[in-house]
Every structure is written in C-alpha cells, then in structure tokens.
C-alpha cells in the first residue's frame, strides 16, 4: 500500500511512502523517473480510487513567537493604572 507524503510548507506531494506489512520498514519513493515510481504509477492506475498526485493539504503558517517581555510590561502598566484608579 502507498501513502502520499506532503510538504507542510507548500502543501504539495513530495514523496510517496510504500507501506510494508512489517510497519518498521517503509520505503520512501521520490517523484522522479525511477523503477519504484513507475511501479507506483502502475499500481495506482488499477486502483478503484487512485491516489491523486496533484492533491494538496492545507498549509498552516507557523504562529510568530510571543514577545513575553512586552506582554509582561503591558500587564504591569495595566496593574499600575488600576492601582492608581483604586486610590
């Protein structure tokens, strides 16, 4: 059985994983002119629901790192403002 592997930065298929019966041994096949890729194409062609090499996944951009020092300063200013209003 084969599984498509996607690049998380582009969302495009980059390799194909050949899953073996022994789950400890997987073969990664590059999308290029090779005997392994040709074997995948032949296998894929006869499948009831072939794998789509043009499929993509959603790309989730990384969240920028938080500036904890700025957040702490902002919170300290808010506390100071609340303390001055309470007096």
* Domain extent listing, the chain: 1-61
Residue 25: per-residue pLDDT:
76
Report, as an integer, the average pLDDT of 26-51: 93
Average pLDDT value over all residues in the chain: 91
Residue 21: per-residue pLDDT:
73
User: How far is C-alpha 74 from the geometric centre of its chain's CA atoms?
Assistant: 34
Nearest Cα to Cα of residue 57 among 11, 17, 15: 11
Q: Is the pLDDT of residue 23 over 70?
A: no
């Amino acid at each position: 059985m084969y599984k498509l592997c996607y690049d998380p930065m582009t969302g495009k298929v980059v390799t194909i994983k050949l899953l073996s019966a022994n789950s400890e041994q997987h073969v990664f096949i590059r999308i290029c002119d090779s005997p392994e890729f040709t074997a995948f194409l032949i296998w894929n062609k006869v499948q009831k629901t072939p794998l789509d090499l043009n499929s993509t996944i959603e790309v989730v951009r990384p969240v920028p790192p938080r500036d904890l020092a700025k957040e702490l300063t902002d919170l300290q200013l808010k506390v100071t403002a609340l303390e001055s209003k309470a007096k």
